[in-house]
Amino acid sequence: MPRIADSFLAELDQEAQTTRRVLERVPGDKLSWKPHTKSMSLGQLALHVATIPSGVAQILSNDSFEVPSFDQPAARSATELIRALDDAPKVMNTVEKPATKARAEPNRLALGAFPWRNSSIPIPDSIET
């Protein structure tokens, strides 16, 4: 029976090729450009996109996830973007394989001292197809 995590990982792997093509086209001399004064810079936005697969894999590999304060660093170079994307498979390979028994507790998402949890809607380990 396939796990939900496997669906996410497969989709991230499939999207990695398109993401790579986009990140390869980010001009290194324009990383500080902002589309709007209130926006993040192109370097911050591109690095955010490059690190999404690793972040999703980290969330999937734990029963709970504490949402960190968000301070997006900017990429210092265009090659840093590709390196960040290339790190994703290493993190994605750390996501545990299915356990023999179903998890008794639902996943937990927390933002600081405020846990978000709805025990009436558990997040299953697997889905039936």
Contact predicate 78/28, CB 8 Å = yes
Cα 94 to Cα 100: distance, rounded to the nearest angstrom: 18
Contact predicate 48/42, CB 8 Å = no
Question: What Rg value do the Cα atoms of the chain yield, rounded?
Answer: 17
Strand order in the sheet with 114-116: 64-67, 108-111, 114-116
Domain boundaries, position 75: 4-95
Cα 89 to Cα 128: distance, rounded to the nearest angstrom: 26
Q: Residue 114 — very low, low, confident or very high, per pLDDT cuts 50/70/90?
A: low
Mean pLDDT within 97-125:
51
Please tell me the predicted confidence (pLDDT) of residue 25. Answer: 95
The tens digit of pLDDT for each residue in 11-37 reads 888 888 899 999 999 999 999 999 999
Domain-located, residue 107: no
Domain-located, residue 101: no
Domain-located, residue 114: no
